[in-house]
A = this chain, B = another copy of it.
Amino acid sequence: MRALVYDGELRLERDYPKPEPAPGQAIVRVTKAGICNTDLELVKGYMGFGGVLGHEFVGVVESGGPEWEGRRVVGEINLACGECTCCRAGMPSQCPNRTTLGINRHDGAFADYLQLPTANLHALPDTVSDDQAAFVEPLAAALQISERRQIMPSERVVVIGDGKLGLLVAQVLRLTGCHLRLVGHHDSKLVLAQGWGIETARAGDLGANLADVVVDCTGQASGFAASLDIVRPRGTIVLKSTYHGLPEADLTRVVVDEVSVVGSRCGPFEPAIRLLAAGLVDVEAMIQARYSLDDGVVALERAAQRGTLKVLLEVG
């Protein structure tokens, strides 16, 4: 099968071995896949990954039992052991033995086929298109903020970063009724957000009115310092960005201002599917380009260009 492989260099392989059926495992024929900034970080060396990239996908189950075969699905990306303390505590996404689709020791979705446990699959209703479904994974990650920290309708919330994740996070937080502002650098993206009724600002233009909650979606080490500058005393910084490298962080200021810092990663799929089905989140407007899997290397180069929104790979 075709597969976009990274092992120090990125290339399309045409005879990559197709995953084998196994008990409890589904083989999914990939229809579409989305390129995430994490893919771009992996190609820079994050996680020391080697294998098939890709973790945002929609596909059709080819094998995995009669309950699943032929169904259109998305899939959770963490493959948990099911037996450790984290798994038993209902936190499979934190399983220390986990592998992660296209991120850590498990081949990913930029290929004709992928393998996932059937327990990871979520069937899609007809009301969610394939284009929309390709966004379920990052939209779930945006929803994880509300799993980690209550967002009160009366709060002042600032999302820093108008990239793909920032735009999804802003759309989700807008639904809480909070006083939301999205801070970014790109006119076209801020205009997009304004079209959704989201107040936008340029970095440095927020004035003296501090935020109760700041969500760092910059994807950059500098995002933490920027968040500290605008969070109120005893406010919360939600970190969504992962990147290769360690920033300097003013932890003394965290103590003195009694700030809370909350890490947030993968989130719940069913609420994401519900919001898409209800038309409450607009993901189509975030699709900037489409490439065939055959042109996957070029697609990743395009996705890496500054300011690019979602690049989709058309696979099946």
B-binding residues in A (CB < 8 A): 85-86, 91, 94, 96, 148, 221, 224, 232-234, 239-244, 246-265
Tell me which residues across on chain B come within 8 A of A233, comparing CB atoms.
86, 91, 94, 96
Given known pairs A94-B233, A243-B252, the reply for A260 and B263 (CB within 8 Å) is yes
Bound-state CA distance A262–B240 (Å) is 17
Nearest-neighbor residue (CB-CB) of A242 within chain B: B252
Max count, chain B CB within 10 A of own CB: residue among A241, A247, A248, A251: A251
Bound-state CA distance A258–B264 (Å) is 5
Which of B85, B234, B252, B259 contacts A91, CB < 8 Å? B234
Instruction: Show 15 residue pairs from A and B whose CB-CB distance is below 8 angstroms, ordered by the A residue.
Output: A96-B233, A224-B249, A224-B251, A239-B251, A242-B252, A246-B249, A247-B248, A247-B251, A248-B248, A249-B249, A251-B263, A254-B263, A255-B263, A260-B261, A260-B262
Min Cβ gap A249→B in Å is 4
Chain A interface SS verdict (over half): mixed
Bound-state CA distance A262–B235 (Å) is 10
Nearest-neighbor residue (CB-CB) of A266 within chain B: B258
Nearest-neighbor residue (CB-CB) of A252 within chain B: B242
Tell me which residues across on chain B come within 8 A of A255, comparing CB atoms.
239-242, 263-265
Nearest-neighbor residue (CB-CB) of A41 within chain B: B252
Nearest-neighbor residue (CB-CB) of A249 within chain B: B249
Min Cβ gap A237→B in Å is 9
List the 4 shortest-distance A-B pairs measured between CB atoms, nearest first: A94-B233, A261-B261, A249-B249, A254-B263
Given contacts A85-B232, A224-B249, A256-B263, 17 further A-B contacts (CB under 8 A): A86-B232, A91-B234, A94-B257, A94-B258, A239-B251, A239-B254, A241-B251, A241-B252, A243-B252, A246-B248, A246-B251, A247-B248, A248-B249, A254-B261, A258-B262, A258-B264, A258-B265
